[in-house]
Amino acid sequence: MKGKIIRGSGFGGVLNYVLDEDKEARIVGGNMTGQDARALAREFGHVRRLRPDCGKPGLHIPLRLPEGEDVSDARWLEIALFFMKLMSLSPNRPWVIVKHVKNHVHLITGRVDHRGKIWTGKWEGLRCIQATQEIERHFGLTITPGLKGRDKKQVRLTSGQLRKMQRELDRGKEPEVPAKVAIAERIEQAIIKSDGTFDGFKAQLEKLGVATRLNVAKTTNHISGISFEFGGIVIKGSKVTRAYSWQGLSQLLAERKENYENPGVAQPNIQPCPQSDDHRANQPKPASFGQRTGPARNRPTTGSVPTPPPVPLAVRGDNHDSADVVPDLLLALLGKPPVATAVGAIAGSACPSAGAIISTAGKVDALRRRSAQASAEDDEPAPEPDEPTMSF
């Protein structure tokens, strides 16, 4: 859907246009009692006199759907009311909706409401585009290109130029091509044939009958704009199309120069060298934001240090009076608790703690002393037993 907001100094002319009998127009909604252009103009006049200081009190808003799409009169009424709401046009002002045979309506209203408040309409062009985009999504209509999807090279004609071309087509004549359409076609051809420089572009454009004029500042020699002259008509580049303003034209020429100096040069397709799955599996994963990259203090890290084989300790339980032979290396470590503690930390759960190792060393020493004492007692002669005493 496309819309346009047109301000006017009166209501009689626009009402006569939209209610023309040749257009087969009909009123599909509104809050006014009049049914013809004269009666409606009188009603609008009563409200506009509330604010005689308002220079252009009239608003003419055509709303058009894409070619081949149309909705019922009731739906058009809903669309128009929704559009007024999006544009902050309160319904407490005179308004009327006129439907033509084709797929468009005309909303006629005023900037002055019944309370004498004036609608300022700041950024009304941009808001109108945003409102029509919202209407398409809300009512399930065909989505048309908005500001982001517009072609900057597309020439946009006024409604008067379009009507003139349509009248000539209806009469069977070939319509006269507007000047900015002819200029736009020649600018495009000149860019393609040029070498990307402005002088080359200007020379090609002059061959096609179009002269260029630069808007240069007298003091700084800064170029702020460009105009084109064709057939005695001078048009600014930004009025031809948005792409042919001085800034847009400079960008198009820079792209053309790049293609002219490097014809057929494609960007190299560099692909990374493939790596084996094992190599990728061994790569450390990057730490996420706020995640610790190393182990915390005083926190055991499983698998961070390789685990050596367990130290063999063949010590029986506390209830036994004998112990197996303990290797000399372990006995040497038992006498140094710090080393024994380090061995326990490295060995993990497979190795007893330092306290257990030291306790085991004490048990072994005690067993050795008891064994030595027992051997000494065996060397002394055993006393003969006394005669048994019999008691009755």
Q: Let me know whether 8 and 69 are in one domain.
A: yes
Q: Let me know whether 9 and 128 are in one domain.
A: yes
Which DSSP string do the residues of 129-177 spell out, in sequence order? HHHHHHHHHHTT-PPPP-STT--TT-----HHHHHHHHHHHHTTPPPPP
- Which pLDDT value is given to residue 112? 94
Q: Let me know whether 246 and 209 are in one domain.
A: yes
- Per the domain annotation, does 266 fall within a domain? no
Q: Let me know whether 69 and 167 are in one domain.
A: no
Q: Let me know whether 241 and 364 are in one domain.
A: no
- Per the domain annotation, does 302 fall within a domain? no
pLDDT category of residue 280 using cuts at 50, 70 and 90 = very low
Q: What is the mean pLDDT of the chain?
A: 75
Q: Are 343 and 330 in contact (CB under 8 A)?
A: no
pLDDT digits (tens, 9 = 90+) for 184-201: 889 999 999 999 999 999
Q: Let me know whether 343 and 228 are in one domain.
A: no
- Per the domain annotation, does 214 fall within a domain? yes
- Final residue belonging to a domain, choices 138, 169, 202: 138
Q: Let me know whether 124 and 164 are in one domain.
A: no
- Per the domain annotation, does 153 fall within a domain? no
Domain count, the chain: 3
Q: Let me know whether 26 and 122 are in one domain.
A: yes
pLDDT above 90 for 59: yes
- Which residues form the domain of 232? 159-260
pLDDT digits (tens, 9 = 90+) for 119-145: 988 888 888 988 999 999 999 998 887
pLDDT above 70 for 327: no
- Per the domain annotation, does 253 fall within a domain? yes
pLDDT above 50 for 57: yes
Quick one: tokens of 247? 């800034």
- Which pLDDT value is given to residue 181? 85
pLDDT above 60 for 54: yes
- Per the domain annotation, does 145 fall within a domain? no
- Final residue belonging to a domain, choices 83, 103, 138: 138
Q: Let me know whether 253 and 344 are in one domain.
A: no
Q: Let me know whether 188 and 119 are in one domain.
A: no
Q: Let me know whether 251 and 332 are in one domain.
A: no
Quick one: tokens of 59? 């608003």
Q: Let me know whether 123 and 224 are in one domain.
A: no
Q: How many CA atoms lie within 13 A of 22 on its CB side?
A: 2
State the DSSP code for 274. P
Q: For the domain that residue 36 is a member of, what is the CATH number?
A: 3.30.930.30
- Final residue belonging to a domain, choices 223, 238, 260: 260
- Per the domain annotation, does 148 fall within a domain? no
CA-CA distance, 204 to 192, in Å (whole number)?
9
Q: Measured on CA atoms in the order 13, 16, 22, 28, is the torsion positive or negative?
A: positive
pLDDT digits (tens, 9 = 90+) for 14-42: 999 999 888 888 999 999 999 999 999 99
Smallest CA-to-CA distance from 183 within 112, 126, 231 is with 231
- Per the domain annotation, does 308 fall within a domain? no
- Which pLDDT value is given to residue 338? 44
- Which pLDDT value is given to residue 281? 46
